[in-house]
Amino acid sequence: MFPIYKKELQSFFYTPFAYAMAALFMLLFTLPLASAISNMNGTNTLHFSFTEMFYSVILYFIFLLPILTMRTFADERKNGTEVLLMTSPVSVAKIVIAKFLANLTVYLFMLVCTLFFPIITAIKGHVVISQLICAYIGIFCWGAMYIALGMLISSFTENSIIAAIIGEVIMFILLFVDNFANSGFISQFPKLQSILYSFAAQPRFAYFSEGFIRLSDLVFFGSAVIVLLSWTFISIEKRRWNRG
């Protein structure tokens, strides 16, 4: 499993891809931070919880994460290397996990780069550390779930662009599940509303960004990752048997 993980990381870090993603990631953090500073009331001390920043940036992640995951399996199929991968002694489950960990490592690298902003803020002002830590844990869990989703979508097609577009559409829809569940029409059906709301990730992320860590939210994101990776395994395994 480790050789596949290493190969995936090399495909990211031996090319400008990971660094370009990290730069774009930091740019997205710069915009709400600059806006927050410009709206300060002139006090000498800056007080940031970074809650609003994460809320602003989370929408932009919808466009970044599919770009990160779109090549996971689609390029293997397009370049004809899927056959070599499927006939390797490594099991499909280990292949899926290795690719997931590689994508997650790149995502973690991108998050670490953004620590530049709270560090600078802490030097010139005050950062609410508890909220900052919880927000980073929340956005890491949120990103892990959507990375697993992007990998699942990538396993369905050999066109990485199509995988990215479908991923962005689905992630965008899921981002507003809670708003849809709270709409006037859906509220007429309490059971349906409850089911839809149980799939909403944004309200769970809200607790993290406000400085709260709930076991139920950790279980939600962890379960979602396991389910999505299991579906990816089934998708790849099905193709393996059909090819055989």
pLDDT number for residue 227 = 95
Report which residue type is found at 9.
Answer: L
Nearest by Cα to 164 from 66, 71, 73: 66
In the chain, % of residues over pLDDT 70: 84
| Residue 51 confidence (pLDDT) | 65
Percent of the chain exceeding pLDDT 90 equals 17
Q: What are phi and psi of 127, to 5 degrees?
A: -115, 135
Indicate the pTM of the whole model: 0.87
* Alpha helices (H) along 114-189: 116-124, 129-154, 160-175, 177-181
234: tokens are 């089934």
Residues 41-80 pLDDT 10s: 555 445 555 666 676 677 777 778 888 888 888 777 777 6
- pLDDT(230) > 90: yes
**Structure tokens belonging to residue 66:** 């599919």
- What Rg, from alpha-carbon coordinates, does the chain have? 20
CA dist., res. 104 & res. 220, Å (int): 18
- Which of helix, strand or coil describes residue 200? coil
Whether residue 226 is predicted with pLDDT greater than 90 in this model: the reply is yes
End-to-end CA distance of the chain: 22
CA 166 to CA 8: how far, in whole Å? 22
Q: Are 113 and 25 in contact (CB under 8 A)?
A: yes
User: Model confidence over 113-124: pLDDT tens digits?
Assistant: 888 878 877 777
CA atoms within 13 A on the CB side of 8: 25
Q: Whole-angstrom Cα distance, residue 205 to residue 240?
A: 36
- Tens digits of per-residue pLDDT, 78-90? 776 666 666 777 7
Alpha-carbon distance of 78 to 158, in angstroms, equals 5
Most confident of 59-63, 165-169, 226-230: 226-230
Q: Which pLDDT value is given to residue 231?
A: 93
**What is the predicted pLDDT for the residue at 45?**
47
Residue 185 CA to residue 3 CA, distance in Å, equals: 51
Q: Note the pLDDT tens digit of each residue in 6-32.
A: 888 888 888 888 888 888 888 877 776
> pLDDT category, 148, cuts 50, 70, 90?
very high
Encoded amino acid at 28, one letter: L
